[in-house]
């Protein structure tokens, strides 16, 4: 495997590999990680599959426990999204611990999670779509969101910022954000109806929508989400953008397009460290 990044560190602990953003690792009050397909001891059909929809529940639970031990999270503290490519953002408290992991989902459409409670671990899922990390250095609130193309054109990034402002008093200028890893513009081809949705956002679309022959377009989801964050008041210098493509790194990361759908699912985790 030939992995290189200027923004991520590839960590391996007890045979389980995961990515961390160097910029987020500098923030002392949080812990974060993004899973990969590499993990020793996994018994799911797709190695380190984090989706209960694709595999045996007990085997996926074991993957969570392996990942949590390796990346430094408390398995009992997890609360998961219930993603369907929309833009609902859930405000989470300790009352939601276990939902979507060892407790049944109670909401069927949750693509964003935010909290201000220390020790509660937010968990969202990916296999080419765009992870969005939010850390408020002022109030110490955090957020995670899943940005598929529908969620991105629905401005889920803006919805998270607005929810954090309303719920926690977040000043967007205090936010530190990270975008990705996802399928990059080199590999993300869409048709004209999809491209029109991006053009309609009213942003500088020439920087993230690129026409090709045959009515096809290449779309840069990273740049689109970056522009949305800046439009919300997040400082450009506080946004780190992935330099890793899930399709080009499909030996390390699950990619829906690279596998033609025969895949596992990765997760992002983010928590405020417990009070000492």
**pLDDT tens, 199-252?**
999 999 999 999 999 999 999 999 999 999 999 999 999 999 999 999 999 999
Using the predicted structure, report yes or no on whether residue 131 has a pLDDT greater than 80: yes
pLDDT value at residue 275: 77
pLDDT value at residue 223: 98
d(Cα 144, Cα 192) in Å, to the nearest integer? 29
In a domain, 205, yes or no: no
Using the predicted structure, report yes or no on whether residue 134 has a pLDDT greater than 60: yes
Q: Which domain holds residue 73?
A: 8-184+237-272
Domain with residue 65: its CATH number is 3.60.140.10
What is the mean predicted confidence (pLDDT) over 58-67?
96
Q: Number of structural domains, the chain?
A: 1
Using the predicted structure, report yes or no on whether residue 276 has a pLDDT greater than 70: no
In a domain, 173, yes or no: yes
What is the mean predicted confidence (pLDDT) over 150-171?
98
In a domain, 202, yes or no: no
The mean pLDDT of the chain is: 96
In a domain, 216, yes or no: no
In a domain, 111, yes or no: yes
pLDDT tens readout for residues 80-126: 999 888 899 999 999 999 999 999 999 889 999 999 999 999 999 99
In a domain, 141, yes or no: yes
d(Cα 240, Cα 104) in Å, to the nearest integer? 34
pLDDT value at residue 248: 95
Using the predicted structure, report yes or no on whether residue 1 has a pLDDT greater than 80: no
């Amino acid at each position: 495997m030939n992995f290189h990044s200027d923004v991520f560190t590839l960590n391996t602990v007890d045979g389980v590999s995961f990515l961390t953003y160097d910029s987020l690792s500098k923030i002392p009050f949080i812990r974060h990680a993004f899973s990969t397909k590499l993990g020793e001891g996994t018994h799911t059909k797709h190695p380190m599959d984090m989706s209960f929809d694709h595999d045996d529940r007990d085997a996926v639970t074991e993957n969570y426990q392996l990942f949590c031990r390796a990346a430094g999270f408390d398995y009992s503290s997890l609360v998961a999204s219930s993603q369907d490519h929309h833009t609902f953002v859930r405000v989470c408290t300790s009352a939601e611990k276990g939902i979507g992991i060892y407790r049944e989902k109670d909401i069927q459409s949750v693509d964003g999670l935010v909290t201000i409670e220390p020790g509660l671990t937010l968990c969202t899922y990916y296999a080419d779509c765009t992870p969005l990390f939010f850390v408020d250095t002022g109030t110490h609130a955090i957020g995670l969101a899943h940005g598929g193309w529908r969620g991105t054109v629905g401005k889920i990034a803006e919805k998270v910022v607005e929810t954090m402002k309303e719920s926690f008093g977040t000043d967007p200028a205090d936010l530190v954000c990270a975008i990705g890893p996802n399928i990059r513009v080199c590999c993300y081809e869409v048709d004209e109806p999809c491209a029109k949705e991006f053009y309609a956002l009213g942003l500088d679309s020439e920087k993230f929508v690129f026409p090709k022959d045959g009515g096809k377009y290449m779309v840069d989801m990273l740049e689109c989400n970056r522009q949305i964050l800046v439009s919300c008041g997040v400082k450009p210098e506080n946004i780190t953008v992935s330099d890793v493509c899930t399709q080009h790194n499909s030996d390390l990361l699950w990619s829906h397009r690279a596998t033609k759908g025969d895949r596992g699912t990765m997760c992002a985790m983010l928590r405020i460290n417990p009070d000492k």
